[in-house]
Amino acid sequence: MPRLPLVYHDGYDLQFGDHVFPSQKYKLVRAELLSSGIVRPGQIHAPEPATDADILLVHSAEWVQKLRRGTLTYTDILTLEIPYSRRIVEAFWLAAGGTVLAARLALEHGAAFNIGGGFHHAFHGHGEGFCAVHDIAIAIRKLQHESRIRTAMVIDCDVHHGNGTAALFSGDPRVFTLSIHQLHNYPEVKPPSTLDIHLPDGTGDDDYLRRLREACEIAVPAFRPDILFYVAGADPYLDDQLGGLNLTMDGLRERDLLVMQSALERRIPVVVTLAGGYARQLSDTVRIHAATALAAQQVLGEYPWHS
């Protein structure tokens, strides 16, 4: 059976202490995957940080300089919603490099999994909602710049709308953005994605999966991208502190399989990033993310890239 490539770095941990965003989850997910035997050490690849030139493919020079020099305004930090430090800049640059590496590995192997990333609230000139730079957009623009791909699709299954993704790719016919999210939740302003699925509070497994399946069955074969980025947020889970949907562990696993099968059955490579997860029990968030990696391994086995 083909083995799923994963990307991870200890530097992914943003290390900002007592915060609703448990950035220590990255090392815990890696440990869970190894201890459970889902992955072997040789499957895990260490990324290099993205270069400033890579970041500038998406973000303004002013915003990059603010992050690099530590000159964010009070409003910048309030909007970002995490404490600033040089350490978090290094972590975000590493996450972007990790998603770029995962994208290259996916083109080679059919699928790859970044145990990090998915910072979909970052905009061209500012950060929002725990997201300073948009690693997925950087990976897309980097691969386009290198002529490795022409088109890309982002399927965002975080509980929160992918507002940064929608804004960054607005009007670009080469990138299809799909966001399925809780309507009455962050962010208040939701720029239109190519396709938005606004869900009512309390949506459970059956309705969620039906709406997502209908969208994937139409959008993926119609657009047929060169690569698909899957934002596999853990926060649609029924016991998430920042979510208001009602998905079970089983429902989240079916979601993962659905998205990845819709791509790999059509020979479209898949890049998985983690995005949000704020369960009351951190162990639940770790289990959900680890289960996404297991689902990716399973789907890659069903549709092997090299056969």
pLDDT digits (tens, 9 = 90+) for 183-232: 999 999 999 999 999 999 999 999 999 999 999 999 999 999 999 999 99
Greatest distance between any 2 Cα atoms in the chain? 54
Question: Which of 104, 112, 120 is CA-nearest to residue 155?
Answer: 120
Give the separation between CA 100 and CA 187, rounded to whole angstroms.
26
What is the C-alpha to C-alpha distance for residues 292 and 208, in angstroms, rounded to an integer? 17
- The model's confidence at residue 1, banded by pLDDT at 50, 70 and 90, is low
The DSSP letter of residue 131 is: B
- N-term to C-term CA, the chain: 10
Does 307 reside within a domain? no
Q: Examine residue 1 and state whether it is found in any structural domain, yes or no.
A: no
Q: Report if residue 252 sits inside a domain.
A: yes
Split into its structural domains, the chain has a count of: 1
In the prediction, which pLDDT does 153 show?
98
Q: What is the β-pairing status of strands 270-273 and 44-45?
A: unpaired
Question: Is pLDDT of 172 > 80?
Answer: yes
Q: Partners of 173 in the beta sheet? A: none
pLDDT tens figures, 60-106:
999 999 999 999 999 999 999 999 999 999 999 999 999 999 999 99
Lowest mean pLDDT among 17-26, 153-162, 216-225, 264-273: 17-26
Q: Which amino acid is at 63?
A: W
Domain that holds residue 226: 6-302
**Looking at residue 204, which CATH number applies to its domain?**
3.40.800.20
**What's the whole-model pTM score?**
0.97
Residue 16 burial (C-beta neighbours within 10 Å; 0-12, 13-18, 19+):
middle
Matching residue, tokens 């953005």: 177
Distance in angstroms (rounded) separating the CA atoms of residues 202 and 244: 6
Residue 108 is assigned to a structural domain of this protein: yes
Q: Which residues pair with 237 in a beta bridge?
A: 247
In three-state form (DSSP H/G/I as H, E/B as E, the rest C), the secondary structure along 206-257 is: HHHHHHHHHHHHHHHHHHCCCCEEEECCCCCECCECCCCCEECHHHHHHHHH
Per-residue b or e along 130-153, where b marks 16 or more CB atoms closer than 10 Å to that residue's CB: bbbbbbbbbbbbbbbeeeebebbb
